Amino acid sequence: MLDECVNYFKERNVYKKLFTALRKKYASLGHMGGIITLKNITEDEKTALEGFFRKDFHKEKDVKISYALMEKSLKQSRFASLSWEEILTAYFKEPLVIKKQEKEKELEERNSFFEECAAMCNNKMVSEWFLYICKEKGKGSQVILKMYNENKENKSGLKAFLNKIFNALERLPVIENQMLLLPVFAAKTTGNPHFFDLKTKACKLLLGYIEYAFANIKQEQDLSGTEHIESLLYSAGILKDNVSNMCLVYGLRGIKKDGSIHKGIEGYFAEKEPVQLTLKTLSLLESLQAGSSINGNGKIYIVENPAVFSYLADTYPDGTFICGNGQFKLAFYITLELLKGKYKIYYAGDFDADGLLIAQKLKKRYPALVELWGYKGEYYKKYLSDVKLDNVSLAKLDKVDIAELQEVKQCLLEYKRAAYQETMLGVFTL
């Protein structure tokens, strides 16, 4: 009877459209039910439907068939002993599947594959991170899931890729107290110097792992996206660029990780000349010290503008100065971290909206160490420039909320003009 029933429906092509729609409806609902709408069917196809359902469909543009009608018509036919579940299973030669079951099966297969991949990893933290992003949707999960979906037919290729990732993460330079350039690290761990090039899937996974492994690293509000990436890599002992990111200093001495004095920095200190500290140089250091005594305590002065920095170095050759050079870079923050919080830091910048925001960021980051230097209304009025602040700049002042900057902020709102460091040299006396 079942074979006869299937043959009957297969001889009439319109039923393939009906049964395909019914199977989808079953998968969605989890049971037989609902209404099937068949669009753009021919008059002959309508006639074929009428033979079984005993209903005139020729007046309908889109034929709608409810499951209730299907069930009633089946019971009135010679196939009454059968069920639609039996008929559809035999018709398509495969069991009906509910979408939930399909998803559960797919999820089970995917998790099984990921667990198999994690078993290739010899490092517990790396393995835990991988399973976390696969199952808990941590940072990097979208990369992994997309790669899985794209490589369902080539899982061996995905396994090989992940094996390289695991090998690299197990050998981060910081583990061996080293610093390596990104291409060198990539070549050393994967054989391909471009494997971890920025914006690649591999690099995204590398950065995701670093954030997971070094949970104390947060996105700095005053670092750009690129600089945040550099900061993450640096924390793992990897340098994206070891020479162009730098900080200009004067009067500092460097102590290397083996306890010896950095002779290059010492030479500039002895000659009383400024020196640009690159990330490469900073990566060699255990600490930075200010003043003529290697263990001495003192004061460090940070200014926003190179011209003021130069003036201070020339005027006070025994002082210690750092140039922020506008927006702070990664090298600037590493320089401050290497000072180990031993010194009182004084900061001075321009009296405009951006200048006040820069000062505020530094103060909020190091509230106990940083003192704002010269932020007085009397200095603003004395050195007022002709540069007018537009409405965009004035609107930025709404974000200035620390007490030390309110006096200058109110002056800016009142006079709507800027005052710059270069004209206030007389204020900066030590």
CATH number of the CATH domain containing 299: 3.40.1360.10
Q: Alpha carbon 130 to chain centroid distance?
A: 16
Residues 149 and 25 in one domain: no
233 and 265 co-located in one domain: no
Q: Is 180 helix (H, G, I), strand (E, B) or coil?
A: strand
- Return d(Cα 240, Cα 388) in angstroms, integer: 39
* Distance, CA of 245 to CA of 228 (rounded, Å): 13
Contact 197, 205 (CB under 8 A): no
How much is the pLDDT for 341?
78
User: Given this model, what pLDDT does residue 295 score?
Assistant: 46
Both 420 and 366 in one domain: the answer is yes
Residue 63, beta-bridge partner list: 38
Task: Show which of 197, 222, 239 is a domain's final residue.
Answer: 239
What is the domain extent for residue 12? Answer: 2-97
| 171 in the same domain as 87 | no
Same domain, 7 and 125: no
Question: Is the distance from CB of 53 to CB of 65 less than 8 angstroms?
Answer: yes
Q: How many domains does the chain have?
A: 3
For 248, the enclosing helix (H) or strand (E) is strand 246-250
Distance separating alpha carbons of residues 28 and 38, to the nearest angstrom: 17
Of 97, 113, 129, the residue that ends a domain is 97
Quote the pLDDT of residue 296: 45
Please check whether residues 107 and 235 belong to one and the same domain.
yes
Do 116 and 190 fall into the same domain? yes
User: What is the model's pLDDT at position 219?
Assistant: 47
User: Which token pair is 355?
Assistant: 């200048």
How far apart, in Å, are the Cα atoms of 327 and each of 231, 331, 359, 368?
15, 11, 10, 21
Do residues 59 and 149 share a domain? no
Summarised one tens digit per residue, pLDDT across range 382-426 is 999 999 999 999 999 999 999 999 999 999 999 999 999 899 888
Pair (369, 262) in one structural domain: yes
pLDDT block averages, 10 residues each, the chain of length 430: 92 92 84 87 91 89 91 92 91 81 76 90 92 82 88 87 94 90 93 92 93 66 71 88 84 94 96 94 92 64 93 93 87 90 90 94 91 94 92 94 95 94 87
Q: Which of 62, 78, 97 is the last residue of a domain?
A: 97
Q: How many angstroms separate the CA atoms of 264 and 305, rounded?
A: 25
Strands 344-348 and 299-303: parallel
Three-state DSSP class for residue 107? helix
User: Does residue 355 share a domain with residue 227?
Assistant: no
Query: DSSP letter at 405?
Result: G
- What contacts 148, CB < 8 A, 6 or more positions away? 110, 113, 114, 158
Q: What is the pLDDT of residues 394-403, one digit of tens each?
A: 999 999 999 9
Does residue 279 sit in the same domain as residue 299? yes
